[in-house]
Amino acid sequence: MKFGGSTLGGDFGYPSPYAFYPRGMGYIYLSFCFDTLTWKDETGVIPWLADSWEMSDDGKAWTFHLHRGVKWHDGEAFTADDVKFTFDYMKEHPRPKWFKTLEYIDRVDALDEYTVVIHLKKPVADFLVTIAGDVPIIPEHIWSGVEDPKKFRGKEAVIGTGPFKLEEYNKEEGYYLWEANEGYFKGKPLVDKLISIKVSDTALALKTGDLDEASLWRKDTDVVTEFEANPNFKIIEGPGYWVLQLVFNCEKYPTNITEFRHAIAYAINRSEIIQKVVHGGAIPANPGILQPGTEWSNPDLPGYEYNVTRANEILDALNFTDSNGDGIREYPTGEELEFELITIDKFSREAELIKSQLKEVGIRVNVKSMDKSTVDTILKGGNFLLAINGHGGCSYPDILEIPDWPASTYHNDSYDSIFDKQATTMDFEERKQLVYQLQAMITDDLPVYALYHPRRWAIYNPGKLDTWFYTKNGIAHGIPYELNKLVFIGAEAPATPMATATATPTSKSIPTPKPPGFGATLAIAGLLTVAYLFLRKRGR
């Protein structure tokens, strides 16, 4: 059984809680080895290491009743002490790029071997997803002796309670091999081995049997069409939960001028990008970033319909004019209006088309493509004017905390205040209106111009595995892939529907679990999850 595709594969770091690459695929690899208190399926949050839970009336204390009989990969027993240790350890050794919400935790008490209480400094609306469903529980008997977790590697660093054990990792090849945890507390996985590798031609790999499942998106519409008539494969389509956006540096001239950003937005023809570059494999993005159709997406935002006339009017008013008639405007100081547009290699075609569209309004940009980690580093450092970048997590409000993530050049105290308020508002309708306000402010201030949300598909051989699905609002806090570990447990997993969990907190309304979003992913090449006979090991 082999998996892969155009959006998966490659190196996403060592899959330990402190070494995985802080984007979606890195976390998914981590989740194969480690479990959380809650998890998610097609409908939302479900019990996982915790069978049930209650919330205090003030929303600041959560009591979890743990599943009994769970073992770590090395055979040691999992207890409430491990849960307490995990949160204490992660607070002492923070990893803010991913587990930022740990700052909300006041303390954790282990009441007995299977009961633990998490006390918060203030209510957290998305607690069941952003904390309980996101923080990987680690074994105290191993990590208590680790002084520098960022440097901790090797077999012990990936001992969890999860359905798979990491057997091999090759950073240079982007190769991962996991072996099934036969003693998994949710049942023995359906596959014996998982392998993640890169593939250069997804369609060919499917046809030749080198792949049994492939993840596709954007311009893969041609591949999807090709396989629709193939009786040996099935296709499922899921929401993108991902956005490609134009990121403005709001601290540097001239992109620090709000009206200038508006002009660029009016000059961009998103429909042309979707048709010419991704062949219809996307939808125009909500300017408020969140995926249309989710409960948080504001459907009434005005947007910036393609309007060259309007773009020119704004630029003229800002005194960016073409005084020498060469087709390129000049700054008010006389220099030509020219700057760099950076992006990762995957989105170079979008960048080239935007370059030509902006030239129509007298703005010259030079496209510079780089690898994703370099672009992330540049954005974080604020050393850019204009960039094309993307991320997942577009199904939950917390992705709005830093609209231009991974950059952080947008500053608005009023926006920050509303964000903080919604994060602790437990009433769903009240919170939704606050989230709507945030999206309206993003649309007005435009620190980013959301270009499109991609369509997403999985093509698979049902004879190998027929349990694929897309997770409601994405895996954990919004990771859009079909690689939920439940897929590999399938029908063998004991049914633990939400309704059976004594998860009935209080008389207070608890919104449906809504994880935060996170930087998920511009994926790259191919993830191969292989459940096949060992004699074909490395025969890729």
DSSP assignments along 333-361, one per residue: TSSB-EEEEEEEGGGHHHHHHHHHHHHTT
Question: Quick one: which of 150, 149, 164, 108 has its CA closest to 132?
Answer: 108
Phi, psi of 5 (to 5 degrees): 150, 175
Q: How far is CA 524 from CA 9, 12, 41, 420, 466, in A?
A: 6, 10, 25, 34, 24
Instruction: Please check whether residue 244 is in contact with residue 397, taking contact to mean a CB–CB distance below 8 angstroms.
Output: no
- HSE-CB for 3 with a 13 A CA cutoff: 29
Q: What is the pLDDT of residues 436-457, one digit of tens each?
A: 999 999 999 999 999 999 999 9
If one compares 325 and 195, the residue with the highest pLDDT of the two is 325
**pLDDT, tens digit (0-9, with 9 covering 90-100), for 297-325:** 999 999 899 999 999 999 999 999 999 99
Of 415, 363, 334, nearest to 246 (Cα)? 363
The pLDDT value recorded for residue 110 is: 98
Residue 174 is predicted with a pLDDT of 80
Share of the chain above pLDDT 70, in %: 89
**Phi (first) and psi of residue 203, to 5 degrees:** -60, -45
Question: How would residue 473 be classed by pLDDT, with cut points 50, 70 and 90?
Answer: very high
Q: What is the DSSP string of 107-134?
A: EEEEEETTEEEEEESS--TTHHHHTTTT
* Strand residue runs (E) in 402-483: 448-454, 456-460
Helix (H) or strand (E) holding 234: strand 234-238
Residue 531 C-alpha from the chain's centroid: 26
Asked if the bond preceding 511 is cis, omega within 30° of 0, the reply is no
What is the reported pTM? 0.80
3-state secondary structure (DSSP) of residue 25: helix
Mean pLDDT of 22-42: 93
Relative orientation angle of helices 348-359 and 258-267, to the nearest 10 degrees: 100
Backbone phi, psi, residue 157, to 5°: -70, -15
**Burial track 467-490 (b if 16+ CB lie within 10 A, e otherwise):** bbebbbbbbbbbbbbbbbbbbbbb
Backbone phi, psi, residue 525, to 5°: -110, -90
pLDDT of residue 6: 64
155 alpha-carbon distance from chain centroid: 26
Residues 6+ apart with CB under 8 A from 14: 20, 153, 157, 158, 169, 171
d(CA 206, CA 200): 12
Query: Across the chain, what does the average pLDDT equal?
Result: 88
HSE-CB at 438 with a 13 A cutoff on CA atoms is 28
pLDDT at 311: 98
Burial of 349 (0-12, 13-18, 19+ CB in 10 A): middle
Nearest to 134 by CA among 508, 473, 391: 473
Whether cis (ω within 30° of 0) applies to the bond prior to 299 is no
Q: Report how far residue 440's alpha carbon sits from residue 423's, in angstroms, rounded to the nearest whole number.
A: 17
Range list of H helices, 446-520: none
Q: What is the mean pLDDT of residues 235-253?
A: 95
Which has more pLDDT, 535 or 112?
A: 112
pLDDT at site 493 = 44
pLDDT range class, residue 520, cuts 50, 70, 90: very low
The answer to whether 477 and 129 are in contact (CB under 8 A) is yes
Query: What are the start-end ranges of the E strands in 352-509?
Result: 364-370, 386-392, 448-454, 456-460
